[in-house]
Amino acid sequence: MISAVRGTHDITPGEVGRWQRLERVARDVCQRYGYHEIRTPVIEREELFAKGTGESTDIVQKEMYTFTDKGGERITLRPEATPSMVRAFVEHSLEQTLPIVKLYSMGPMFRYERPQKGRYRQFHQLDVEAFGMQAPFLDAEIIEMAAQLVTELGIEDSELVVNSVGCSTCRPSFSIALIEALGQRVSELCGDCQRRIQINPLRIFDCKVAADQSIIDGLPHSLDYLCAACHEHFKAVRQVLDTFGLPYRLSHRLVRGLDYYTRTTFEIIGQTLGAQDALLGGGRYDGLIKHLGGPDRSGIGYAAGLERLVMAMPADAVVATTPDAYVVAIGEDARLSAQMLARDLRHAGLCTLVDYDVRSPRSQMKRADRTRASHVLIVGGDELEKGLVSLKDMSTSEQESVARGDVVDRVCQRQRDSLGT
pLDDT for the residue 221: 86
Yes or no: is domain 325-413 CATH 3.65.10.10?
no
pLDDT for the residue 134: 92
Task: Tell me the C-alpha distance between 378 and 364, whole Å.
Answer: 10
pLDDT for the residue 256: 66
pLDDT for the residue 281: 94
Q: What is this structure's pTM?
A: 0.86
pLDDT for the residue 346: 95
Q: Which of 332, 376, 326, 328 is nearest to 346 (CA)?
A: 326
| CATH homologous superfamily, domain 13-170+226-312 | Bira Bifunctional Protein; Domain 2 (3.30.930.10)
pLDDT for the residue 276: 62
Instruction: Say yes or no: do domains 13-170+226-312 and 325-413 share a fold.
Output: no
**Domains of the chain, residue spans:** 13-170+226-312, 325-413
Mean pLDDT by 10 residues, the chain (421 residues): 91 90 96 96 95 83 92 95 96 94 97 85 96 95 96 92 91 85 79 77 79 82 90 96 95 75 91 76 92 94 94 80 90 88 93 86 89 91 84 88 89 81 61
